[in-house]
Amino acid sequence: MPSPRQSYFATSSGKEPKEVYESSDLADWSETEALGTPGQAPFTRGNHPSGYRGRLWTMRQYAGYATAAESNERYRYLLDRGQSGLSVAFDLPTQIGYDSDDTMAQGEVGRVGVAIDTLDDMETLFDGIPLDKVSTSMTINATASTLLALYVAVGRRQGVAPDKLSGTVQNDILKEYTARGTYIYPPAASMRITTDVIAYCGENLPRFNPISISGYHIREAGSTAAQELAFTLANGLAYVKAAVETGLDFDEFGPRLSFFFNSHRNFLEEISKFRAARRLWGKLVRERFGSTNTRAQMMRFHTQTAGSSLTAQQPEVNVVRTTLQALAAVLGGTQSLHCNALDEALGLPTEETAELALRTQQVIALESGVAGTVDPLAGSYAIESMTDAIQSDAEAILEEIDRRGGALRAIEASWPQQEIREAAYRFQKGTESGDIAVIGVNVFAKDERVPVEIFAVDAAIEAEQVARVRAVRERRDAEAAARCLDEVERAAKTGANLMPPILEAVTAYATLGEVASRLRDVFGEYRTS
């Protein structure tokens, strides 16, 4: 066993924790202001007085690949084994607005998620899954308005009214420019589409979260915990500001905002990050938007374990990593959780590894006992001190973003992107030097590889999906679809809410790519300099 280096204990920002924490290490806050009571502002200890005793977190395993029919089988498999909510992964062409038969989609159809071109695909995806009984999260951003419209249309076909649909559409375009890259239109146009979705959901889908403001991808790109928190909240403030400027009342739409965080390597730091996130968000919306509605001030968030922490070497060790990360999310008070599978550094999870990841959550929920106590680490000198420190660091970053004109202007000037790149570089250098331990990679490495079944998407599915979308175009009423697409374009030009015409277009079997093409004609495409 090697002698542990001191830096093995460092947080994501490189700070060394104290060997022993005392009460004197806590920030100079009154107990009521800093800690409070579960279910009450400042929400450090959680949003609900009973915590998980009243309701467990939603176990929402992210899944989707190949065709809608194959993904539907995986959803049914997971639901049969105790999953309590769906989380849909879309393929890259769907994410950036291309139909499966577009030349831009070649080689990517169904690879990293499910291919959705038309209402026909969406109906197949949810065949036999009652949308009034299952909550669905959709990880989609640039084309979020179209996928949400498709979901509403499927609900109509099932006889489920919009006000009975529940779930979340990610619809967080700012982090795409910062960390992920699946944007289509320039930032200002994208923000307009995002606020259209927020307004539409407020009027028509009261149980649906119109946005999931995501720090997950910011962290996956290499940020520190404090950067993840600060950049996420800065984006959230930008969305709220944009929505308020259109005439929406934050205290009315605020309760339907949701967030999405990463649960990473450092167990205590991650727990502290989640507690600081709730406290800081409530403070920000009270100060900046005059919120008086406590439900609007509550931060509700989904968490996913850190995909970037998984290793192809000794992949069975990933089970240990994700268990600790999932436990940190639970101890931090997450509302829903995805636990990564052990083989995801190699490919898409198999049915067996996806089930094991779900079982990990179930063991934490039903065997560990941690769900029986609300915020069980509250009062820990270490946790409270780290919570204060992360909040302080995040506030300093937020002040710099404000100085630069807010999140949108900072992103357009590439400041967050550069900060994340520098943090990622420091982490990579630490890994290469051995200062940061990665079990099985630079510590306790093995020459031999453990054999792991790698899930492969059948190459034939692309041709199948291409034929499927072309068949839909052949049998639809082409004139009706064209008229509906004209209305989408007209709404884009006039500033009308885009959701109603997009809903009518997809109901007439206009394709996702056709809707995106009309919006490209009006808004243009964004290219990085």
Quick check: is 477 in a domain? Answer: no
Q: What is the pLDDT of residue 31?
A: 42
Of 270, 389, 370, 258, whose CA–CA distance to 322 is shortest?
A: 270
Paired residues of 303 in beta bridges: 261, 337
Quick check: is 512 in a domain? Answer: no
pLDDT tens string 427-466: 999 999 999 999 999 999 998 776 777 777 788 999 999 9
- Can you read off the two tokens belonging to residue 256? 């339907």
Q: What is the pLDDT of residue 469?
A: 98
Contacts of 413 (CB under 8 A, 6+ apart): 404
Q: What is the pLDDT of residue 7?
A: 62
Q: What is the pLDDT of residue 36?
A: 86
Quick check: is 475 in a domain? Answer: no
Quick check: is 447 in a domain? Answer: no
Residue 402: CB atoms within 10 Å: 14
Quick check: is 166 in a domain? Answer: yes
Paired residues of 278 in beta bridges: none
CATH for 419: 3.20.20.240
- Can you read off the two tokens belonging to residue 32? 């009521």
Q: What is the pLDDT of residue 529?
A: 65
d(C-alpha 461, C-alpha 79), whole Å = 24
The parent domain of residue 385 ranges over 6-433
End-to-end CA separation in angstroms for the chain: 48
Quick check: is 1 in a domain? Answer: no
**Integer angstrom CA distances of residue 505 from 94, 482, 488, 501:** 16, 8, 8, 6
Q: What is the pLDDT of residue 13?
A: 82
Given a contact cutoff of 8 angstroms between Cβ atoms, the answer to whether 498 and 193 are in contact is yes
Q: What is the pLDDT of residue 84?
A: 82
pLDDT tens string 112-164: 999 999 999 999 999 999 999 999 999 999 999 999 999 999 999 999 999 99
pLDDT tens string 336-353: 999 999 999 998 899 999
Q: What is the pLDDT of residue 32?
A: 41
Q: What is the pLDDT of residue 19?
A: 85
Q: What is the pLDDT of residue 456?
A: 73
In 174-213, which ranges are continuous DSSP H helix?
Answer: 174-175, 187-204
d(C-alpha 154, C-alpha 131), whole Å = 8
Q: What are the backbone dihedrals phi and psi of residue 129, each rounded to the nearest 5 degrees, phi first?
A: -110, 105
Using 50 as the pLDDT threshold, list the residues of the chain that sit under it.
Answer: 1-2, 4, 6, 30-32
Q: What is the pLDDT of residue 28?
A: 63
**Domain tally for the chain?**
1
Quick check: is 67 in a domain? Answer: yes
Given a contact cutoff of 8 angstroms between Cβ atoms, the answer to whether 275 and 389 are in contact is no
Quick check: is 188 in a domain? Answer: yes
